[in-house]
Protein backbone atom coordinates (compact mmCIF):
# COMPACT_ATOMS: atom_id res chain seq x y z
CA UNK A 1 0.00 0.00 0.00
CA UNK A 2 1.29 3.45 -0.95
CA UNK A 3 1.82 5.75 1.99
CA UNK A 4 -0.21 8.97 1.78
CA UNK A 5 1.98 12.04 1.31
CA UNK A 6 1.54 14.78 3.90
CA UNK A 7 2.90 18.29 3.39
CA UNK A 8 4.36 19.59 6.66
CA UNK A 9 4.98 23.31 7.18
CA UNK A 10 7.86 24.23 9.46
CA UNK A 11 9.72 27.23 10.80
CA UNK A 12 12.79 28.35 8.90
CA UNK A 13 14.64 28.43 12.22
CA UNK A 14 13.67 25.13 13.83
CA UNK A 15 12.25 23.05 10.98
CA UNK A 16 15.47 21.08 10.58
CA UNK A 17 14.93 19.47 14.01
CA UNK A 18 11.11 19.46 14.18
CA UNK A 19 10.33 17.95 10.77
CA UNK A 20 12.06 14.61 11.51
CA UNK A 21 9.99 14.23 14.69
CA UNK A 22 6.74 14.99 12.85
CA UNK A 23 7.73 12.70 10.00
CA UNK A 24 8.43 9.89 12.49
CA UNK A 25 4.87 10.25 13.80
CA UNK A 26 3.51 10.17 10.26
CA UNK A 27 5.59 7.11 9.39
CA UNK A 28 4.34 5.27 12.48
CA UNK A 29 0.80 6.15 11.36
CA UNK A 30 1.35 4.84 7.81
CA UNK A 31 2.11 8.10 6.03
CA UNK A 32 5.17 10.06 4.96
CA UNK A 33 5.95 13.73 5.27
CA UNK A 34 7.21 16.31 2.80
CA UNK A 35 8.81 19.38 4.38
CA UNK A 36 7.32 22.71 3.31
CA UNK A 37 7.89 26.30 4.36
CA UNK A 38 8.00 29.86 3.10
CA UNK A 39 10.40 29.89 0.16
CA UNK A 40 10.20 26.11 -0.31
CA UNK A 41 8.24 24.43 -3.12
CA UNK A 42 4.71 23.53 -1.99
CA UNK A 43 2.18 21.89 -4.31
CA UNK A 44 -1.18 20.84 -2.88
CA UNK A 45 -1.73 18.62 -5.92
CA UNK A 46 1.29 16.59 -4.84
CA UNK A 47 0.00 15.67 -1.36
CA UNK A 48 -3.00 13.97 0.23
CA UNK A 49 -3.07 16.02 3.44
CA UNK A 50 -1.19 18.76 5.28
CA UNK A 51 0.13 19.57 8.74
CA UNK A 52 0.54 23.22 9.70
CA UNK A 53 3.23 23.05 12.32
CA UNK A 54 4.24 25.04 15.39
CA UNK A 55 6.56 28.00 15.71
CA UNK A 56 6.47 31.77 16.09
CA UNK A 57 3.37 33.77 17.02
CA UNK A 58 1.08 34.84 14.19
CA UNK A 59 1.24 38.52 13.24
CA UNK A 60 -1.88 40.17 14.75
CA UNK A 61 -2.64 42.21 11.64
CA UNK A 62 -3.84 38.98 10.01
CA UNK A 63 -6.87 38.97 12.30
CA UNK A 64 -7.33 42.67 12.95
CA UNK A 65 -5.35 42.76 16.18
CA UNK A 66 -2.60 45.07 17.38
CA UNK A 67 1.01 44.16 18.00
CA UNK A 68 1.23 43.37 21.69
CA UNK A 69 3.40 40.84 23.46
CA UNK A 70 4.49 39.11 20.24
CA UNK A 71 8.19 39.75 19.80
CA UNK A 72 9.19 37.21 17.15
CA UNK A 73 7.15 37.04 13.96
CA UNK A 74 7.57 35.43 10.54
CA UNK A 75 5.27 37.32 8.17
CA UNK A 76 6.36 35.36 5.08
CA UNK A 77 5.36 32.15 6.82
CA UNK A 78 2.11 33.74 8.01
CA UNK A 79 1.07 34.60 4.45
CA UNK A 80 2.15 31.23 3.09
CA UNK A 81 0.30 29.20 5.71
CA UNK A 82 -2.88 31.28 5.67
CA UNK A 83 -3.20 30.80 1.90
CA UNK A 84 -2.38 27.12 2.32
CA UNK A 85 -5.04 26.58 5.00
CA UNK A 86 -7.72 28.46 3.05
CA UNK A 87 -7.04 26.52 -0.14
CA UNK A 88 -6.85 23.15 1.63
CA UNK A 89 -10.26 23.67 3.24
CA UNK A 90 -11.76 24.80 -0.08
CA UNK A 91 -10.36 21.76 -1.89
CA UNK A 92 -11.29 19.23 0.79
CA UNK A 93 -7.70 18.39 1.75
CA UNK A 94 -7.34 16.96 5.30
CA UNK A 95 -5.59 19.37 7.67
CA UNK A 96 -3.99 18.98 11.09
CA UNK A 97 -2.87 22.17 12.86
CA UNK A 98 -0.35 21.87 15.68
CA UNK A 99 -0.10 24.73 18.22
CA UNK A 100 0.59 27.74 15.95
CA UNK A 101 -1.01 25.62 13.20
CA UNK A 102 -4.27 25.36 15.15
CA UNK A 103 -4.23 29.13 15.58
CA UNK A 104 -3.51 29.63 11.87
CA UNK A 105 -6.41 27.36 10.92
CA UNK A 106 -8.65 29.55 13.06
CA UNK A 107 -7.29 32.79 11.59
CA UNK A 108 -7.57 31.49 8.01
CA UNK A 109 -11.27 30.86 8.65
CA UNK A 110 -11.84 34.38 9.96
CA UNK A 111 -11.17 33.88 13.67
CA UNK A 112 -8.99 35.84 16.09
CA UNK A 113 -6.39 35.12 18.76
CA UNK A 114 -5.94 36.15 22.38
CA UNK A 115 -2.39 37.44 22.81
CA UNK A 116 -2.62 37.36 26.61
CA UNK A 117 -4.47 34.06 26.98
CA UNK A 118 -2.75 32.94 30.18
CA UNK A 119 -3.79 36.15 31.94
CA UNK A 120 -7.28 36.05 30.41
CA UNK A 121 -7.87 32.66 31.98
CA UNK A 122 -6.33 33.59 35.30
CA UNK A 123 -3.10 31.64 34.90
CA UNK A 124 -0.33 34.00 35.91
CA UNK A 125 2.34 31.30 35.58
CA UNK A 126 2.93 30.42 31.93
CA UNK A 127 3.53 26.69 31.57
CA UNK A 128 5.97 25.84 28.79
CA UNK A 129 7.15 22.25 28.58
CA UNK A 130 7.18 19.39 26.08
CA UNK A 131 6.23 17.07 28.95
CA UNK A 132 2.54 16.25 29.58
CA UNK A 133 1.65 18.58 32.47
CA UNK A 134 -1.78 20.05 31.58
CA UNK A 135 -5.09 18.24 31.93
CA UNK A 136 -7.75 18.88 29.28
CA UNK A 137 -11.38 17.84 28.88
CA UNK A 138 -12.65 16.65 25.49
CA UNK A 139 -16.10 17.50 24.12
CA UNK A 140 -18.51 14.60 23.94
CA UNK A 141 -19.55 13.67 20.40
CA UNK A 142 -16.63 15.47 18.74
CA UNK A 143 -14.34 14.06 16.08
CA UNK A 144 -11.48 14.44 18.56
CA UNK A 145 -13.37 12.26 21.04
CA UNK A 146 -13.78 9.56 18.39
CA UNK A 147 -10.04 9.71 17.75
CA UNK A 148 -8.64 9.72 21.28
CA UNK A 149 -11.54 8.66 23.49
CA UNK A 150 -13.57 10.56 26.09
CA UNK A 151 -11.25 10.38 29.07
CA UNK A 152 -9.40 13.38 30.45
CA UNK A 153 -6.08 13.83 28.63
CA UNK A 154 -2.78 15.24 29.84
CA UNK A 155 -0.87 17.27 27.24
CA UNK A 156 2.15 19.53 26.94
CA UNK A 157 2.21 23.29 26.36
CA UNK A 158 4.58 25.57 24.45
CA UNK A 159 2.26 28.43 23.46
CA UNK A 160 1.68 31.97 24.68
CA UNK A 161 -1.41 32.82 22.60
CA UNK A 162 -4.70 30.96 22.23
CA UNK A 163 -7.82 30.96 20.08
CA UNK A 164 -10.30 33.71 20.88
CA UNK A 165 -13.15 34.31 18.40
CA UNK A 166 -13.79 31.14 16.41
CA UNK A 167 -13.33 30.96 12.65
CA UNK A 168 -16.21 30.01 10.38
CA UNK A 169 -17.27 26.37 10.76
CA UNK A 170 -15.00 25.67 13.73
CA UNK A 171 -15.96 24.41 17.18
CA UNK A 172 -13.91 24.22 20.37
CA UNK A 173 -13.63 20.52 21.26
CA UNK A 174 -11.18 20.57 24.17
CA UNK A 175 -10.41 22.98 27.00
CA UNK A 176 -8.00 22.98 29.90
CA UNK A 177 -9.20 23.21 33.50
CA UNK A 178 -9.22 27.01 33.36
CA UNK A 179 -11.42 26.96 30.24
CA UNK A 180 -8.77 27.94 27.69
CA UNK A 181 -9.44 26.39 24.25
CA UNK A 182 -7.07 23.51 23.52
CA UNK A 183 -8.51 22.01 20.33
CA UNK A 184 -10.81 23.04 17.48
CA UNK A 185 -12.30 21.12 14.58
CA UNK A 186 -14.45 21.67 11.52
CA UNK A 187 -18.09 20.77 11.97
CA UNK A 188 -18.20 19.35 8.43
CA UNK A 189 -15.87 17.77 5.87
CA UNK A 190 -13.00 17.94 5.16
CA UNK A 191 -11.07 16.58 8.14
CA UNK A 192 -9.67 19.68 9.85
CA UNK A 193 -8.42 19.47 13.42
CA UNK A 194 -6.27 21.90 15.36
CA UNK A 195 -4.63 21.03 18.69
CA UNK A 196 -2.95 23.64 20.89
CA UNK A 197 -0.41 21.14 22.23
CA UNK A 198 2.43 19.28 20.47
CA UNK A 199 1.46 15.60 19.96
CA UNK A 200 4.63 14.99 17.92
CA UNK A 201 6.66 15.17 21.15
CA UNK A 202 4.34 12.64 22.82
CA UNK A 203 4.71 9.85 20.26
CA UNK A 204 5.15 7.35 23.10
CA UNK A 205 1.49 7.94 24.06
CA UNK A 206 -1.12 5.84 22.23
CA UNK A 207 -3.76 8.59 22.19
CA UNK A 208 -1.34 11.12 20.70
CA UNK A 209 -0.31 8.72 17.93
CA UNK A 210 -4.01 8.27 17.18
CA UNK A 211 -4.20 11.93 16.09
CA UNK A 212 -1.65 11.31 13.35
CA UNK A 213 -3.38 8.06 12.36
CA UNK A 214 -6.64 9.97 11.93
CA UNK A 215 -4.97 12.46 9.59
CA UNK A 216 -3.25 9.72 7.59
CA UNK A 217 -6.51 7.77 7.33
CA UNK A 218 -8.36 10.83 6.01
CA UNK A 219 -5.51 11.50 3.57
CA UNK A 220 -5.59 7.87 2.37
CA UNK A 221 -9.33 8.13 1.71
CA UNK A 222 -8.79 11.28 -0.31
CA UNK A 223 -5.97 9.64 -2.28
CA UNK A 224 -8.19 6.66 -3.09
CA UNK A 225 -10.96 8.96 -4.25
CA UNK A 226 -8.63 10.91 -6.49
CA UNK A 227 -7.25 7.68 -7.97
CA UNK A 228 -10.75 6.41 -8.68
CA UNK A 229 -11.70 9.65 -10.43
CA UNK A 230 -8.52 9.57 -12.52
CA UNK A 231 -9.19 5.94 -13.48
CA UNK A 232 -12.78 6.66 -14.54
CA UNK A 233 -11.65 9.67 -16.55
CA UNK A 234 -9.33 7.42 -18.57
CA UNK A 235 -11.96 4.76 -19.14
Concerning whether 200 is annotated as a catalytic residue, the answer is: yes
Query: Chain centroid to CA 85: how far?
Result: 10
| Catalytic pick among 81, 99, 159, 186 | 99
- Point out the catalytic residue in the list 81, 159, 185, 200: 200
The rounded Cα 212 to chain-centroid distance in angstroms is 10
Taking the CA of residue 122 as centre, how many other CA atoms within 13 Å lie in the half-sphere pointing to its CB? 4
Catalytic status, residue 151: no
- Tell me whether the omega of the peptide bond preceding residue 190 falls within 30 degrees of 0, making it cis: yes
Per the annotation, the verdict on 61 as an active-site residue is: no
Residue ranges in 46-177 assigned as alpha helix (H) = 75-91, 100-108, 117-120, 143-148
CA–CA separation, 52 and 94 (whole Å) = 11
Residue of 81, 159, 186, 198 marked active site: 198
* Inter-CA distances, 132 with 48, 113, 151, 201, 208, Å: 30, 24, 15, 9, 11
The set of catalytic residues is: 99, 198, 200
Amino acid sequence: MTRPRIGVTTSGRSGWRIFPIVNLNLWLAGGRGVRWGAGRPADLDDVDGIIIGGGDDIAPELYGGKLGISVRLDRDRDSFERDLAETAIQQGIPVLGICRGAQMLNVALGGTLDQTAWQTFGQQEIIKTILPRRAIDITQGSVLERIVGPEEMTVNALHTQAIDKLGKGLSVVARDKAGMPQAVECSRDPFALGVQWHPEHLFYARRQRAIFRALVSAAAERAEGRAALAKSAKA
